[in-house]
């Protein structure tokens, strides 16, 4: 009898060991926030192989690839039909040479290919969704040489988001090719609370539109966020971001029609928040001003900093917002954001900003004992040092809808 029980217990243990372990998401694809470009903000569904290849050429020629922007992401509306076996095909008119040839073109240029699907029956643009075809789609993407998947949330009635995103994460893992998973369910089910091991980034907000500070409300009952609305919402979630898993307040609108000041503030704040930097403008025809903003390598370094901490909105004063981001090696990024419609003069006393980032990094600015070198991240010039004296150290004018942004280094 005892022997029998022993055999049964060992049998159960062996059976458990033989069960497939839950797949882990691909590691090290998001040690810092992802950088690249997407078709959506500028072109929506009006995309083609020529546009994608032209953007890839511009990415390389402009120096953006070497500044770190490596993903070229094809968003909604690249799809054709499923074939007789259920495998998704590319739209033969928009992409006459197929998706694998796009991947090969990008890879030959040192770039990576991103693609888009949806957890529901159909994508937001009405194309075939992945529901019921998750493993098949992951296999197809891997065959094509895809490196990144944005997975959307339209047409998902009665679908559980945790289950749906875990399923596609497992499918991508099983397909055998490292593919970044960018989750896009607009923050509805608070993915920051459960998706750390599932995806590499999650949208925290509804869609952005090219506007600095207003909501665009649609009759259908949903709204799009301006830059300030994205910041306000994303700000409350900083403790959930970190190496490998980032809050995503949506793609950039720099170069799509806001003023230069607004574009600079938008880009700076995405870097302060360690957000994904996915460009959304037409790189083939951008102004020098746009290029200077998105190519600011010192600002990109704030976003990509290896301490991996999302910036802290420390306080508001005189209409200004004061943001601090602790950086590797004891440095800090410090940004004053003026969201108002008028320029604001401000006398800066470092002692007003002795803070400890209790919630995330535990680090302190210690302006009463430490002296930092001050480097202006937009004029690209040193501006002296901080002082331990408790009195105004410098007079600043922060332009309307603009920023002053410093790197403080020891």
Task: Just list the catalytic residues.
Answer: 152, 207
Please, what is the minimum distance in Å from the beta carbon of residue 165 to ligand GLA?
15
Which of 46, 306 has the CB closer to ligand GLA? 46
Task: Assess 155 for contact with ligand GLA (CB under 6 A).
Answer: no
Please, what is the minimum distance in Å from the beta carbon of residue 268 to ligand GLA?
22
Task: Assess 149 for contact with ligand GLA (CB under 6 A).
Answer: no
Which of 124, 336 has the CB closer to ligand GLA? 124
Which of 76, 263 has the CB closer to ligand GLA? 76
Binding residue for ligand GLA (CB under 6 A) from 125, 145, 178, 330?
Answer: 125
As separate numbers, helices (DSSP H) first and strands (DSSP E) second, the chain gives 10, 20
**Please, are residues 119 and 165 in contact by the beta-carbon 8 Å criterion?**
yes
Task: Assess 152 for contact with ligand GLA (CB under 6 A).
Answer: yes
Please, what is the minimum distance in Å from the beta carbon of residue 81 to ligand GLA?
18
Binding residue for ligand GLA (CB under 6 A) from 37, 40, 180, 346?
Answer: 40
Residue 163: both structure tokens together: 């289950």
Q: Which of residues 190-209 bind ligand GLA (CB under 6 A)?
A: 207
CA distance 331 to 366: 11
Which of 188, 379 has the CB closer to ligand GLA? 188
Which of 124, 398 has the CB closer to ligand GLA? 124
Task: Assess 185 for contact with ligand GLA (CB under 6 A).
Answer: no
CA distance 226 to 250: 11
**Please, are residues 355 and 348 in contact by the beta-carbon 8 Å criterion?**
no
Please, what is the minimum distance in Å from the beta carbon of residue 341 to ligand GLA?
29
CA distance 181 to 184: 9
Which of 207, 262 has the CB closer to ligand GLA? 207
Which of 75, 134 has the CB closer to ligand GLA? 75
Q: Which of residues 307-366 bind ligand GLA (CB under 6 A)?
A: none
CA distance 371 to 125: 53
**Please, are residues 245 and 274 in contact by the beta-carbon 8 Å criterion?**
no
Instruction: Measure Cα distances from 389 to 320, 393, 407 in Å.
Output: 23, 8, 20
Task: Assess 184 for contact with ligand GLA (CB under 6 A).
Answer: yes
Binding residue for ligand GLA (CB under 6 A) from 35, 36, 76, 168?
Answer: 76
Closest listed residue to residue 380, CA positions, set 290, 299, 285: 299
Please, what is the minimum distance in Å from the beta carbon of residue 352 to ligand GLA?
39
CA distance 40 to 126: 15
Residue 242: both structure tokens together: 């970190």
Task: Assess 402 for contact with ligand GLA (CB under 6 A).
Answer: no
CA distance 159 to 162: 9
Instruction: Measure Cα distances from 105 to 57, 102, 112 in Å.
Output: 10, 5, 9
Number of residues that bind ligand GLA (CB under 6 A): 9
Please, what is the minimum distance in Å from the beta carbon of residue 357 to ligand GLA?
31
- ∠ CA 130-136-140, nearest 5°, is 100
**Please, are residues 57 and 91 in contact by the beta-carbon 8 Å criterion?**
no
Closest listed residue to residue 297, CA positions, set 69, 111, 67, 63: 67
Please, what is the minimum distance in Å from the beta carbon of residue 255 to ligand GLA?
17
Binding site for ligand GLA (CB under 6 A): 40, 75-76, 123-125, 152, 184, 207
């Amino acid at each position: 009898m005892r022997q029998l029980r022993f055999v049964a217990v060992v049998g159960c243990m062996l059976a458990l060991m033989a069960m497939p372990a839950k797949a882990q998401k691909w590691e090290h694809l998001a040690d810092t926030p992802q950088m690249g470009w997407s078709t959506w903000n500028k072109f929506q569904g009006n995309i083609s192989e020529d546009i994608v290849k032209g953007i890839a050429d511009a990415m390389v020629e402009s120096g953006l690839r070497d500044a770190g922007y490596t993903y070229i992401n094809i968003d909604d509306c690249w799809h054709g039909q499923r074939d007789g076996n259920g495998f998704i095909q590319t739209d033969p008119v928009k992409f006459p040479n197929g998706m694998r040839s796009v991947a090969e073109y990008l890879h030959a240029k040192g770039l990576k290919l991103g693609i888009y699907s949806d957890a529901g029956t159909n994508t937001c643009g009405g194309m075939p969704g992945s529901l019921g075809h998750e493993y098949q789609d992951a296999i197809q993407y891997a065959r094509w040489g895809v490196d990144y998947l944005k997975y959307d949330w339209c047409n998902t009635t009665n679908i559980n988001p945790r289950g749906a995103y875990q399923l596609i994460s497992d499918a991508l893992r099983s397909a055998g090719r490292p593919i970044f998973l960018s989750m896009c369910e607009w923050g509805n089910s608070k993915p920051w609370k459960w998706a750390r091991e599932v995806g590499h980034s999650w949208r925290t907000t509804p869609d952005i539109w090219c506007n600095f500070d207003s909501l665009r409300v649609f009759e259908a009952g949903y709204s799009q966020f301006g830059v300030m609305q994205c910041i306000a919402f994303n700000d409350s979630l900083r403790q959930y971001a970190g190496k490998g898993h980032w809050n995503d307040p949506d793609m950039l609108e720099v170069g799509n029609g806001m003023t230069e000041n607004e574009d600079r503030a938008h880009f700076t704040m995405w870097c302060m928040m360690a957000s994904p930097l996915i460009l959304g403008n037409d790189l083939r025809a951008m102004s020098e001003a746009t290029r200077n903003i998105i190519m600011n390598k010192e600002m990109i370094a704030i976003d990509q900093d290896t301490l991996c901490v999302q910036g802290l909105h420390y306080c508001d004063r005189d209409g200004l917002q004061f943001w601090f981001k602790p950086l590797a090696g004891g440095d800090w990024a410090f940004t004053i954001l003026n969201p108002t419609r008028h320029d604001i003069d401000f006398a800066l006393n470092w002692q007003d900003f002795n803070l400890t980032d209790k919630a995330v990094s535990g680090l302190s600015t210690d302006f009463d004992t430490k002296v930092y070198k001050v480097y202006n991240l937009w004029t690209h010039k040193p501006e002296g040092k901080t002082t331990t004296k408790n009195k105004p150290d410098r007079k600043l004018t922060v332009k309307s809808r603009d920023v002053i942004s410093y790197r403080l280094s020891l």
